[in-house]
Amino acid sequence: MSLSLQEVKRVAWLARIEITDVEAQAVQGHLNGIFQLIGQMLSVETEGVAPMAHAQDLVQRLREDEVTEADQRALLQSIAPQVEGGLYLVPQVME
C-alpha cells in the first residue's frame, strides 16, 4: 500500500503537526518505505490468535480513593510557557 500526499497531510492534521507541501513530499517517501516494511506482516495467518496488548497479562491494580498528591501547583507552573493567576494561558477559544 502507499499513502497519497493528501493522506500524509490528513495524518499530520490529525497529529496536530504543521507540515508544508515540501515536507509532506519528503515524509511521503519515507512513510511509504516504512509501510512496505510493515506490509510484510499483513499476509500472515492470525485467525484465532488473541491480540497481545501487553508484555504481561496484568489486571489493572486499584487503590484506595484517597488523596495521595500534595499541592505543588506553584512548582509545576513555574516551568509553564505562560501562566497568569494560577492558570495556564492559551489563545482564546470562545468569543
Options 42, 65, 71, 85; binder of other proteins; rule CB under 8 A? 42
| Structure letter (DSSP) for residue 78 | T
Is the Cβ–Cβ distance between 30 and 68 less than 8 Å? no
Helix 5-14 × helix 21-38 angle, to 10°:
90
The whole-angstrom separation of Cα 39 and Cα 33 is: 10
Options 21, 67, 79, 95; binder of other proteins; rule CB under 8 A? 79
Residue 58 binds to other proteins (criterion: CB under 8 A): yes
Residue 67 binds to other proteins (criterion: CB under 8 A): no
Options 22, 40, 70, 86; binder of other proteins; rule CB under 8 A? 40
The whole-angstrom separation of Cα 24 and Cα 18 is: 10
The residues of the shown chain that bind other proteins, judged by CB under 8 A, are 3, 7-8, 11-12, 14-19, 27, 30-31, 33-42, 44, 46, 49-56, 58, 60-61, 63, 72, 75-82, 88, 90-91, 93
